[in-house]
Amino acid sequence: MNAYVESVIENVKRKHGNEPEFVQTVEEVFTSIAPMVDKHPEYEKADLLNRMVEPERMFTFRVVWTDDNGQAHTNIGYRCQFNGAIGPYKGGLRFQANVNPSIIKFLGFEQTFKNSLTGLPMGGGKGGSDFDPAGKSDAEIMRFCQSFMSALYRYIGPDIDVPAGDMGVGGREIGYLYGQYRRLKGVWENGVLTGKGFSYGGSLIRPEATGYGAVYYLQEVLKHENDTIEGKRIAISGYGNVGWGIMKKAAELGAKVTYFAGPDGYIHDPDGVVGEKLDYILEMRAKDPMHCKPYADKYGVEFVPGEKCWGVKDVDIYMPAATQNDVRMESAEKIAASGVKYYIEVANMPTTNDALDYLRSQKHMIVAPSKAVNAGGVGVMTILQGVFSQYPDEVLSNIRNEKGEFAFISFVFNDLNNMNPNESIYEYKNIDGAGIVNINSLTGIDTTHKYIEVEVLIPGLGSVGKVLVYNFNYQGK
């Protein structure tokens, strides 16, 4: 390995040896880029790598809240603004009992590279708290979120730092956080938080976006191998927004998730999670996110308690989509022995370094890295919320036309009440303004509420689903 890379890794181990997750991700990333560093001696002269492993800013803060019985509780809040070289810091907030500085730094480091891979102007950051929403009432979660934002709001903003959701932080928590931010600032800054509800500035497809993006990345992997997704059987871990998005998009594309694992064990459904089962996943998760056994009880399928599905042989693809270090060496050996060809990382650092090296060494396997695979979520919410908020007078979205050209889209309608989905009713303008291409991909119209439904494509990811568009230039007859 490159001597400079080795020295940086050893420096991180010496300085941050008490932060195992952070050390792990630095070692994984820098080991993989060593060949590139060999070709660029100027990196060492500028000490680029040592600069990259130190966050630009990281701070903690006290979060005091009261439960429904009036008892006060104190938690720790974190925000790591890791790197803002190419844009505002961007990354989620995680509320989970095991959150600590190591996990926040590892996530911020990974987020920096993931965001850069989208090609969008976003830096990397991460935050959260050791507060666990599980078992808390809505009122308790609201009071915690309000206290959390009261300490954080001074340090974020649309052009400074844009938090989002993560584990333990969904639409409910984002709503409470944004409400407190607006109360404190006295302004409507739509771009300060992503993951908001659709009714107050959020994206319709944000919950599915990361899972959708992972499946589109999988499609590209299969295409590279002269293979297709139709008929593929998939085993995943996790059934939160990411896992649910994988289930949903896989079903739409002719594949099916036949295994999924939760904290209490794993489910085997040979018919796949399709149709009404997708709705039940949401219902089950809302009632009790820690147990997937109710799915087996309802649909009469196999449930294996206390185990993960890594190593099953009757699948074509593995997609770990739960949390960090989900797949360790013992599981990696089972995966390799199963004969399954495709291993697609979806969660943040779901595989330990030794297990990942082992899987990569298997000649029969294709391994796709998480930083690229799970970039769909941040890409979607930045495009669909950030870009729209910058151009309130017309809808501009970074998508492609049928020729694959990167372009902006401008909607111009002549008669809102007499739209025909089969006609070319809006214009597609190339980014350089040269030429106009008519598009026929309108999928839905609602003349009462004055919105349209269009399919959104992102370069490198393909279709990320449908989005309702309210803001457009309407030119009546």
State how far the Cα of 277 lies from the Cα of 188, in Å rounded to an integer. Answer: 38
Q: For residue 330, how far is the Cα from the chain centroid?
A: 27
477 given a catalytic annotation? no
Q: Cα separation of 209 and 118, whole Å? A: 13
What is the C-alpha to C-alpha distance for residues 412 and 438, in angstroms, rounded to an integer? 11
Taking the C-alpha atoms of residue 441 and residue 415, their distance in angstroms, rounded to an integer, is 18
d(CA 327, CA 316): 17
Q: Which residues contact 391 (CB under 8 A, 6 or more apart)?
A: none
CA distance 43 to 33: 12
Instruction: Find the catalytic residue in 105, 114, 126, 196.
Output: 126
Of 474, 471, 455, 365, give the one whose Cα is nearest residue 414. 474
Of 38, 40, 49, which is closest to residue 12 (Cα–Cα)? Answer: 49
Q: How far is Cα of residue 80 from the mean position of the Cα atoms in its chain?
A: 18
What's the rounded Cα separation, in Å, for the pair 259 and 400? 34
Bridge partner residues of 58 (DSSP) = 80
Cα–Cα distances (Å) from 35 to 30, 390, 439, in that order, read 10, 40, 44
Beta strands 473-474; 412-413: pairing state: parallel
Alpha-carbon distance values, 33 to 40, 75, 128, 239 (Å): 11, 38, 29, 32
* Of 279, 318, 317, residue with least CA distance to 299: 279
> Which amino acid, residue 222?
L
Let me know: does 270 contact 294? Beta carbons within 8 Å.
no
What's the N-to-C CA distance of the chain in angstroms?
Answer: 68
* Token representation of residue 384: 């669909």
Catalytically active residues are 126
